[in-house]
Amino acid sequence: MELHLRGRHALVTGASAGIGLAVARGLAAEGCNLVLVSRTERALKEVAAAIRAEHDVNVHVAPADLSRDGAAEALAARHGEVDILVNNAGAIPGGTIAEVDQARWREGWELKVFGFIAMTRAFYARMQTRRSGVIVNVIGASGTGVDHRYIAGSTGNAALEALTKALGVGSTEHGVRIVGVSPGVVLTERSKALLEARAKANFGDAHRWRELLRHLPFGRTATTDEIAAAVVFLASDRSGYTSGTIMTIDGGQSQRTNWWG
């Protein structure tokens, strides 16, 4: 399917690994020129070199800590003419309300919640003036399938889903689309390492980590490529009448109920 993305410019945050890296590769495969953002310059340069070798696109790196005040505005000043913004950077710590203290709660939200808000404010203003552009927020299904054991993340993701829906309703008046993708459990290098550690603790064998996934839909996690494919499609003209909408990709996990124990 031709997505009509060739020659467009996209900025992806958290692009050095995981979902962000998969999104960057997916956009490049469709002919998008890229600006890659994360805190780690060395990793970004390695990713950029690999993408340039695979695809005939321009790739720029822009190391930045988006939890810091002014970082989003500085990026927008340099790269504000991008057609597509993918907000993806951030991880919020797990734990109950008693386990996540105020400092850790704030730290997680500075990047994932307030970082998304700052990037959206900075880039939306420019898209609004141009009357074109797409912002895709990669959020997290815990905003819908809330979990008291991940209370800071569930609360933050719910806020970002509300942001996406609210702004995505009004943005159409200015020719801009705002959409979201909320993944469930996704197999990344980080999540695999955590699963291996749990398997080692539970079974005495790190290689048995897949047994920990049996309770999930289809008995597995989502892949980063599955999430990236949705992001790329939503950013494209093929999804040109979509705004203020969240696509949840968790195999239906967040909608499950267990009435009978």
pLDDT digits 0-9 by tens, 153-211: 999 999 999 999 999 999 999 999 999 999 999 998 888 887 887 888 889 988 999 99
What is the Cα Rg of the chain in Å? 18
pLDDT digits (tens, 9 = 90+) for 223-250: 999 999 999 999 999 999 999 999 999 9
Contact 13, 87 (CB under 8 A): yes
Residue 259 has pLDDT above 50, yes or no: no
- Across 101-231, the runs of DSSP E, i.e. the strands, are 133-138, 176-183, 186-187, 222-223
Give the pLDDT of residue 146.
87
Give the pLDDT of residue 198.
83
Tell me the C-alpha distance between 157 and 142, whole Å: 7
3-class state of residue 204 by DSSP: coil
User: Which of 14-23, 33-42, 145-154 bottoms out in mean pLDDT, i.e. has the lowest?
Assistant: 145-154
Phi-psi group of 95: left, alpha or beta (phi > 0 → left; psi -120 to 50 → alpha; rest → beta)? left
Residue 261 has pLDDT above 50, yes or no: no
Give the pLDDT of residue 260.
46
Give the pLDDT of residue 257.
59
Residue 258 has pLDDT above 80, yes or no: no
What average pLDDT does range 82-107 have in this prediction? Answer: 94
For 98, phi then psi, to 5°, come to -80, -25
* Residue positions counted in the chain: 261
According to CATH, the superfamily of the domain at 9-184+221-248 is NAD(P)-binding Rossmann-like Domain (3.40.50.720)
Measuring CA to CA, how many Å separate 118 from each of 23, 59, 111, 204?
21, 23, 10, 44
Q: What's the maximum distance between 2 C-alpha atoms anywhere in the chain? A: 58
Contact 176, 206 (CB under 8 A): no
Angle in degrees, 0-180, between the axes of helices 151-170 and 102-112, rounded to the nearest 10: 30
User: Which of 25-29, 42-46, 82-86, 146-150 bottoms out in mean pLDDT, i.e. has the lowest?
Assistant: 146-150
Tell whether the torsion through CA atoms of 141, 124, 225 and 192 is positive or negative: negative
Tell me the C-alpha distance between 177 and 173, whole Å: 10
Return all residues near 140 (Cβ < 8 A) that are at least 6 apart.
Answer: 153, 157, 182, 183
Give the pLDDT of residue 255.
80
Q: Residue 253 has what DSSP assignment?
A: G
What integer best gives the mean pLDDT of the chain? 94
Single out the residue of 193, 250, 252 nearest to residue 221, CA to CA: 250
pLDDT digits (tens, 9 = 90+) for 119-140: 999 999 999 999 999 999 999 9
Give the pLDDT of residue 132.
98
Q: Which residue has the higher pLDDT, 201 or 151?
A: 151
What average pLDDT does range 67-86 have in this prediction? Answer: 97
Structure tokens at 247: 């696509």
What average pLDDT does range 142-161 have in this prediction? Answer: 92
Residue 99 has pLDDT above 60, yes or no: yes
